[in-house]
Amino acid sequence: MDTVQAIIQQQIEAGTFLQSVQQGQQQVQQADAANYGEEEEYEDEEGTYKGKRSNTLPIWGNQVTMNLNTLVLENIRESYYYKNNLVEIDSFQTLVEQIFYQVKHLEPWEKGTRRLQGMTGMCGGVRGVGAGGVVSSAYCLLYRLFNLRITRKQLISMLNSRQSVYIRGIGFMYIRYTQPPADLWYWLEPYLDDDSEIDPRSGGGDLMSFGQMVRLMINKLDWYGTLFPRIPVPIQKEIDEKFAERKKQQLMEEEEWQEGEGLEKEDEEAKVLPKVSKCKHHLRHHHCRKHRKNCPAKAKRLHAEKVQREMKKNLEEK
């Protein structure tokens, strides 16, 4: 009898063999569950069940460059901050902490460092092409997150972070650069009405809501001197149609809300009695509107009679 069989025999005699088997099954189930995201069931727009979304995110486009502009990518790889600090970091949480402390904007270049003077020919002044500058910490961290291959749960935690708006912003940029265009609506649509504010511009001056920023990412290729990956025309048409349907649905909901509010106001007006104000001359009078003209005249007459009585009394005393 070998060692394994001896251990099993001891567990059977002690009555703990079934417990060890169940514990092993639970560990396997937990390991399997770790490969899936928070969204257990995935259905398409028609409601067809598609299974479970994997916790491992797909990468769309170039698997090495993250679809970044060549000049931006070269400056990231040659950056002192990237080579001497970020390359050694293998922890997602540590990178998030770096975003919290280091990122103050979402542009690819630090303010005032990008040089365009002296550029001539076809490259002169072209957006995304230039002599470069000091690449921003935001893009260095974005590229490091890409090389770390963050999971679906980690990306969702960035999108819903309450620590820093720039943690959320880099999460949205990660989606725009790396996720398949067909999945952009799934990722970004829930945040179209997010009114939390962020300023992506280096040095400030471009304050916007997250909803506005998400719309820019979907509808525009330009992003502060660089370009997002191009969305295929058929998918862009589908996204435009979804925007139109969403706007139509919002208008219908707003009309229904206004109609419901109007009915509620009518019911409230029918229930509430008219407010009656009391006059200063006759506070115990409960129908002051009816006697609004009479009360002051009566008060004036009573005052005059009182004065006459006092004058007559004074004359009699003399």
| Mean pLDDT value across the chain | 79
pLDDT confidence of residue 295:
62
Structure tokens given for 37: 């995201």
Q: Provide the 10 A C-beta neighbour count for residue 2.
A: 6
Structure tokens given for 148: 């770390």
Q: How far is the C-alpha of 57 from the C-alpha of 52, rounded, in Å?
A: 13
Q: What is the mean pLDDT of residues 168-195?
A: 96
Q: Are the beta carbons of 140 and 22 closer than 8 angstroms? A: no
> Domain-by-domain residue ranges, the chain?
70-114+125-231, 240-272
Q: Per residue in 122-146, is it b (16+ CB within 10 Å) or e — as a string?
A: eeeeeebbbebbebbbbbbbbbbbb
User: Between 12 and 162, where is the model more confident?
Assistant: 162
pLDDT confidence of residue 214:
96
Q: Are the beta carbons of 66 and 148 closer than 8 angstroms? A: no
pLDDT band at 2 (very low <50, low <70, confident <90, very high): low
pLDDT confidence of residue 313:
86
User: Between 43 and 213, where is the model more confident?
Assistant: 213
Closest to 179 (Cα-Cα) out of 150, 158, 138, 200: 150
Q: How far is the C-alpha of 222 from the C-alpha of 246, rounded, in Å?
A: 24
Closest to 165 (Cα-Cα) out of 103, 98, 228: 103
Please give the C-alpha separations between residue 194 and each of 206, 209, 252, 255, in angstroms, as whole numbers: 17, 7, 20, 22
pLDDT confidence of residue 1:
52
Q: What is the mean pLDDT of residues 134-148?
A: 97
- pTM, to two decimals: 0.66
How do residues 19-78 score in pLDDT, each as one tens digit? 554 555 555 355 444 444 444 445 454 444 455 678 999 999 999 999 999 999 999 999
How do residues 254-305 score in pLDDT, each as one tens digit? 888 877 766 666 666 555 544 444 444 444 444 444 455 566 667 777 888 8
pLDDT confidence of residue 259:
76
Side-chain-side CA neighbours of residue 11 (13 Å): 12
Handedness of CA 6, 8, 9, 10 (dihedral sign): positive
Structure tokens given for 30: 């937990």
* 54 backbone dihedrals φ, ψ, rounded to 5°: -70, 145
pLDDT confidence of residue 46:
47
How do residues 224-234 score in pLDDT, each as one tens digit? 999 999 999 99
Give the dihedral of Cα atoms 228, 231, 233, 237; nearest 10 deg: -100
pLDDT confidence of residue 294:
62
Residue 317, strand partner residues: none
Q: How far is the C-alpha of 288 from the C-alpha of 256, rounded, in Å?
A: 41
